[in-house]
């Protein structure tokens, strides 16, 4: 677990603020008829214009996996996370997940959101709302001295109460010097368990869900995770700094 210095945190704060602005601009362009690739081009252009670099483009966590080819992950409907942006056009009623990573002054921040396109189903709206609420609840538990399980349990309880499928094969994570760092932060667990989080740690609180079982499978492209039962997925994420008083959200 990496504790960031005062100077590192200042760079991360600056990067997080820029990233939040970029994602907001990209999200504003999500409308029927736009292609996922067009959203990616916009995201990369804004990142480069800001003086940063896309964190995801060229990223690979496995030696046998082709590097991720884009700056922005665009996951539509049953695609939950890591969707490769293609010529696929976004349609009225789609549930679109945008996930964007940013390298600025050598440090990484990460954020994601879920958007309904036009008029969406009641089930889709509820899935998105509950997933965001669970993310906010997880962030509200972040504080120096608490354990990973304290965060995980409050997320799980909210999702279980609302009968939303928890993706157990993916998790939130540390971030800052790398795109993914220790510790892993699952969206299920027991309060009082797991490692203690400490002041100065930087975490990506990341909640991923489906309307069904929460089980996922990997698409043929080797990157996109899809709900195994074909149900809709949702995804929210913020980068936060752990302080004595709570979480300082950087990507807002």
* DSSP category for residue 3: P
pLDDT in tens, 5-62: 999 999 999 999 999 999 999 999 999 999 999 999 999 999 999 999 999 999 987 6
Cβ-Cβ contacts under 8 Å for 31 (sequence gap 6 or more): 90, 117, 118
Segment 156-160 shows an average pLDDT of 98
pLDDT in tens, 204-213: 999 999 999 9
Segment 228-233 shows an average pLDDT of 98
Residues 171, 206: contact at Cβ < 8 Å?
Answer: yes
Q: CA–CA separation, 22 vs 207, rounded Å?
A: 21
At residue 63, the pLDDT reads 57
pLDDT band of residue 65 (cuts 50, 70, 90) is confident
Segment 229-244 shows an average pLDDT of 98
At residue 246, the pLDDT reads 98
At residue 120, the pLDDT reads 98
The answer on pLDDT for 96 being more than 70 is: yes
CATH topology of domain 6-249: Creatine Amidinohydrolase (3.90.230)
The answer on pLDDT for 64 being more than 90 is: no
User: pTM of the full predicted structure?
Assistant: 0.97
The answer on pLDDT for 136 being more than 80 is: yes
Q: CA–CA separation, 121 vs 113, rounded Å?
A: 18
The answer on pLDDT for 1 being more than 80 is: no
As a whole number of Å, the CA-based R_g of the chain is 17
Q: CA–CA separation, 230 vs 216, rounded Å?
A: 9
**Which of 174, 180, 233 lies closest to 68 in space, CA to CA?**
180
Q: CA–CA separation, 46 vs 216, rounded Å?
A: 32
Segment 58-73 shows an average pLDDT of 86
Residues 97, 235: contact at Cβ < 8 Å?
Answer: yes
CA angle at 47 for the pair 171 and 51, rounded to the nearest 5°: 120
């Amino acid at each position: 677990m990496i504790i960031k210095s005062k100077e590192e945190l200042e760079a991360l704060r600056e990067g997080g603020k820029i990233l939040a602005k970029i994602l907001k601009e990209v999200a504003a362009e999500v409308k029927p008829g736009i292609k996922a690739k067009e959203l990616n081009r916009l995201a990369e252009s804004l990142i480069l214009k800001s003086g940063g670099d896309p964190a995801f483009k060229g990223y690979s966590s496995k030696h046998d996996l082709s590097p991720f080819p884009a700056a922005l992950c665009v996951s539509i409907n049953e695609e939950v996370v890591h969707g490769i942006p293609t010529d696929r056009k976004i349609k009225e009623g789609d549930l679109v997940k945008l996930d964007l990573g940013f390298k600025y002054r050598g440090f990484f921040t990460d954020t994601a959101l879920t958007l309904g396109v036009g008029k969406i189903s009641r089930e889709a709206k509820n899935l998105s709302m509950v997933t965001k609420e669970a993310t906010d609840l997880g962030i509200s538990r972040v504080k120096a001295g608490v354990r990973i399980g304290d965060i995980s349990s409050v997320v799980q309880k909210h999702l279980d109460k609302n009968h939303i499928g928890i993706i157990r094969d993916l998790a939130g994570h540390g971030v800052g010097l790398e795109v993914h760092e220790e510790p892993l932060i699952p969206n299920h667990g027991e309060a009082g368990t797991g490692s203690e989080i400490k002041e100065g740690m930087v975490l990506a609180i990341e909640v991923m869900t489906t309307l069904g079982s929460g089980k996922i499978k990997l698409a043929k492209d080797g990157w996109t995770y899809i709900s195994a039962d074909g149900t809709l997925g949702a995804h929210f994420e913020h980068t936060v700094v752990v302080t004595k008083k709570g979480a300082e959200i950087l990507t807002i």
